[in-house]
Structure 1
Amino acid sequence: MVELVKLYRLTQNFSRPQIKDISGKTAQELAVLSLNKKIQPGQKIGITVGSRGIQNLIPILQTAVNYIKTLGATPYLIAAMGSHGGGTAQGQKDLLDSLGITEDTLGAEVVTCSDCEPIAHTPNGLPVFIVNSALAMDGILIINRVKTHTSFKGIVESGLIKKLVVGLGGPKGAKQFHGFGPGELARLLVEIGNVILSKLPVLGGLAIIESAYEETAAIKAVTVQGMVKQESDLLIYSKSLMSSLPVDDIDLLIIEEMGKNYSGTGIDTNIIGRARIQGVIEPEKPKIKRIAVLDLSEESHGNATGIGMADFVTKRLVDKIDRQTTYLNCLTSTFVTRAAIPMYFDTEKELVEAALYSLSGISPEKLRIVIIPNTLFLTECFVSETIAAELTGKASIKLETEPQTLTFDPDDNINLRI
């Protein structure tokens, strides 16, 4: 069946707003926060940094560091990543180093910390945890990307509030938060976030929004007063820029690489239409019969969270798994199925043959196959002939004129790559 599969290379066009002068825009938004009226010379000011790869984060952080220095204060880059990095200070440092977030690069000390303590309680008596490194600061500037979450939906999801609650909450805060299950997370995020905003010396935030091209579409100052509402509006805008698969009905989706640098779940649940959370109904679309993943990114440092959402993977991917890191991530989130290892095969050829065998009830010429590089970059992909025929003439899509046959190189790897 493999020899009969032909695929067209496809390019999708999404909305593409882009900030050209990153440093200039960052400085402009910092001025909106009136930090010169809030920061005193000699104070210690913490700037949050996390485990996510965010486009243009280095120049954004550099501008913030320099701005705080001009006010006579000392900036510190404080790790705000919950249980990521294995839940240890050294693990956090290793992750930040890999992202280029170092003192040598940015001119500010990087402070990692896994110890945390309760600073208050919610109206319902829930302790609110904050890492000790944040408690040592005279002021805190929250910087994070705002985007939809992969496990729950609410007025705020991944963004500044979550950076406060889960990121600065440290391992204890992250474990407590996720322990309530997806049905409670949206409410708790706002409830705990408001307590932190009332107790911690938060100066404001910078929200970063990215387009489907992984380009910086917006940098926006967010004030402490009304932070939840402001972030909620930015989340709506972020969702309008999201990428998507070219079709919703797919027999086999092949993902070249998964990883934490592409999504917090390794494979973006919003893209594949699978959540794999016990007791939670799966999204109605897209509907994908089989999902295969070929590799794990180096940037994940062995964290294969999300592997359990695939049906087939390679032995190469499995061999790269750091079980301790992966298990801690999934145990903390409570979504343990996402760490389950699916069927795995020695070569990509064996994997594809097995996947197609499981779909043998569908004739080769009708197979709906899509190959993508990962679940973040979806501007280019390969689609089978049946899908290509449906998309011909669509204004936002460009198809190559001739299909290519799905074949394999001497090492039995797929010859088609984005």
Structure 2
Amino acid sequence: MSEVSELNVVHELLAGVPLPPMVRIRQRFPSPRVGDIGQAVEDGFAGAGSQIRWPAPGGEVAVVVGSRGIADIHRVARAVVAHLKARGYRPFVVPGMGSHGGATPEGQREVLESLGVTEAFVGAPIRSSMEVVQLGSLPNGLPVYMDKLAHAADGIVVINRIKPHTAFRGPYESGIVKMIAIGLGKQKGAESCHKLGFGHMAEHIVQVAEVALATGKILCGVAVIENAYDQVAEIHVLPADRILPDEPPLLLKAKSLMPRILADDIDVLVVDEIGKDISGDGMDPNITGRYATPYATGGPRVTRICVRRLTERTHGNANGLGVADTTTRQVFEAIDFLKTYPNALTSTVIEPVKLPMVLDNDRLAIQAAIKTANVLREEDVRLVHIRTTLRMDVIRVSASLLPELRERDDVDVLSEPEPWIFDETGALDTAAAWGAEEEGGHHG
């Protein structure tokens, strides 16, 4: 059979699959928000007071910044740098992102700059290297590493967001402890922590962080908590000896502020974009309910996931695409496997880098997800359409979900049922889909 006729068979099998009318809704969540990032950072340092064991003024302090798309991370980093300068130190920024950025110094610097963390903006040089020093070993023999440049400094300040992890559960998930253990450990540290799999991660990151904290190099952690609208809700400065006791309650607070899809049973979830700047897994499993490991659970029950695009800021890193069921040729052609595979080789979790069914365009990818969702009447499919897992206020739902969502007092219906609109190539017209919300963003 020729390629053309095979292609036609796929088109024919999907041609009659109906796409349900969609309604824009607004989901409302609690939204505490920090108004002035610089002042919040200053307040955090003031609250930590004399508990931080500051080195003598004049020395160098490494400011560790990761690869996640944390709200206002560039402003947080700039405020930390400004505070250190005011104390008489010479701060510099170190990428703390394990194997991300293709596990190269240039790639990690590129990731920071794509997040707005540039030397010009934060007011400090960026020093990016994959070299590490070994601090010791865990009781089971796993080595503990730290970025060589940070270790050589007179002190280290670690910045990270605290939130639920995408692959394991424990009192410490994504946060300061994990940043110390994995981000600051560079590729070798991340590889060591992941060596025995995510079933041991909750204990390993604590043990590694204890070794790193025992060096006395780490001065404090600057912990960011976000609200459901991808905005900074709280900033806390944790002195080194308060990181372990104070992080677990902050994780519980972060979990309480997480957004979600306000429907539990979904046949098809269409995600416009995934990327490392959105989540370590491209799209946050805490939102999609689709995890790459058995060590984390939660979220909605979703039968099929369709991914339309990769973000520009992910630079071809398609980690997380493997848990989707259908995607587009445009996504496939945007994948940089040299930037994608280091994550799997370091974490030892291969599922996120597998390939879903690749269809020629958006229309076919969505229709394939609907066709394989095992719904008796395809026109009754329970379909949810989101832009990214960071933008959960305005989403689109099929009319079949309206009866239950209308009953909620935290949902506003914004439109009448509307058809899907595609151009002649089968690409979704996102301006038509999202209307004014496409331009208005998600910070409103």
Q: Same fold (TM over 0.5)?
A: yes
Say whether 1:172 aligns with 2:188: yes
SS in 1 for 2:338: helix
For residue 124 of structure 1, report the CA deviation from its aligned partner.
Answer: 3.7
Q: In the alignment, residue 170 of structure 2 is paired with which amino acid?
A: G
Superposition map of 1:47-86 within 5 A: 47-86=63-102
Match of 1:193 among 184, 187, 209: 209
Say whether 1:318 aligns with 2:332: yes
Distance in 1, matches of 2:415 and 2:222, equals 44
Show CA shifts across 1:337-394 (max 9, x none): 2101111111111212222322464213421011011112111111111211111131
Paired position in structure 2 for 1:377: 391
Match of 1:258 among 274, 283, 291: 274
Paired position in structure 1 for 2:224: 208
For residue 204 of structure 1, report the CA deviation from its aligned partner.
Answer: 1.0
Match of 1:292 among 303, 306, 319: 306
Paired position in structure 1 for 2:424: 410
Paired position in structure 2 for 1:354: 368
For residue 281 of structure 1, report the CA deviation from its aligned partner.
Answer: 6.7
Say whether 1:156 aligns with 2:156: no
CA contact (8 A) 2:304 2:370 kept: no
**Distance of aligned partners of 1:282 and 1:191 in 2 relative to their CA distance in 1, 3 Å threshold:** closer
Distance in 1, matches of 2:233 and 2:117, equals 22
Paired position in structure 1 for 2:9: none
For residue 100 of structure 1, report the CA deviation from its aligned partner.
Answer: 2.0
Paired position in structure 1 for 2:112: 96
Q: In the alignment, residue 192 of structure 1 is paired with which amino acid?
A: V
**Distance of aligned partners of 1:69 and 1:242 in 2 relative to their CA distance in 1, 3 Å threshold:** same
Distance in 2, matches of 1:282 and 1:38, equals 38
CA contact (8 A) 1:39 1:71 kept: no
Distance in 1, matches of 2:160 and 2:374, equals 45
For residue 71 of structure 1, report the CA deviation from its aligned partner.
Answer: 1.8
CA contact (8 A) 2:162 2:176 kept: yes
Q: In the alignment, residue 252 of structure 1 is paired with which amino acid?
A: V
Q: Which runs of 5+ in 2 are unaligned?
A: 1-15, 439-444
Superposition map of 1:269-284 within 5 A: 269-277=285-293, 280=294, 283=297
Distance in 2, matches of 1:401 and 1:124, equals 58
Q: In the alignment, residue 400 of structure 2 is paired with which amino acid?
A: T
Distance in 1, matches of 2:297 and 2:285, equals 9
Q: Which runs of 5+ in 1 are unaligned?
A: none
CA contact (8 A) 1:3 1:406 kept: no
**Distance of aligned partners of 1:51 and 1:360 in 2 relative to their CA distance in 1, 3 Å threshold:** closer
Paired position in structure 2 for 1:301: 315
SS in 2 for 1:225: helix
For residue 92 of structure 1, report the CA deviation from its aligned partner.
Answer: 1.0
Q: In the alignment, residue 325 of structure 2 is paired with which amino acid?
A: D
Distance in 2, matches of 1:281 and 1:44, equals 39
Say whether 1:23 aligns with 2:31: no
For residue 33 of structure 1, report the CA deviation from its aligned partner.
Answer: 3.1
Q: In the alignment, residue 291 of structure 2 is paired with which amino acid?
A: A
**Distance of aligned partners of 1:194 and 1:282 in 2 relative to their CA distance in 1, 3 Å threshold:** closer
Distance in 1, matches of 2:19 and 2:273, equals 24
SS in 2 for 1:243: coil
Distance in 1, matches of 2:317 and 2:327, equals 15
CA contact (8 A) 2:44 2:236 kept: yes
Distance in 2, matches of 1:401 and 1:131, equals 51
Distance in 1, matches of 2:176 and 2:373, equals 43
For residue 122 of structure 1, report the CA deviation from its aligned partner.
Answer: 2.6
For residue 285 of structure 1, report the CA deviation from its aligned partner.
Answer: 4.8
Superposition map of 1:328-407 within 5 A: 328-359=342-373, 361-400=375-414, 402-407=416-421
CA contact (8 A) 1:174 1:332 kept: yes
Show CA shifts across 1:262-305 (max 9, x none): 1100021111222133xx27736521111100000001010000
Q: In the alignment, residue 329 of structure 2 is paired with which amino acid?
A: K
Superposition map of 1:105-124 within 5 A: 105-124=121-140
SS in 2 for 1:176: helix
CA contact (8 A) 2:62 2:150 kept: yes
Q: In the alignment, residue 251 of structure 1 is paired with which amino acid?
A: D
Paired position in structure 1 for 2:5: none
Q: In the alignment, residue 126 of structure 2 is paired with which amino acid?
A: V
CA contact (8 A) 1:248 1:286 kept: yes
Deviates more, 1:248-257 or 1:90-99: 90-99
**Distance of aligned partners of 1:4 and 1:209 in 2 relative to their CA distance in 1, 3 Å threshold:** closer
Distance in 1, matches of 2:309 and 2:290, equals 19
> How many pairs align?
416
Distance in 2, matches of 1:256 and 1:404, equals 18
Show CA shifts across 1:301-329 (max 9, x none): 10000111000000001111010110111
TM-score, normalised to structure 1, is 0.95
Distance in 2, matches of 1:286 and 1:147, equals 18
CA RMSD after TM alignment:
1.7
CA contact (8 A) 1:254 1:371 kept: yes
TM-score, normalised to structure 2, is 0.90
SS in 1 for 2:126: strand
SS in 2 for 1:402: coil
Match of 2:259 among 243, 265, 283: 243
Say whether 1:7 aligns with 2:13: no
For residue 395 of structure 1, report the CA deviation from its aligned partner.
Answer: 0.4
Aligned-residue identity in percent:
36
Paired position in structure 1 for 2:249: 233
CA contact (8 A) 1:30 1:64 kept: no
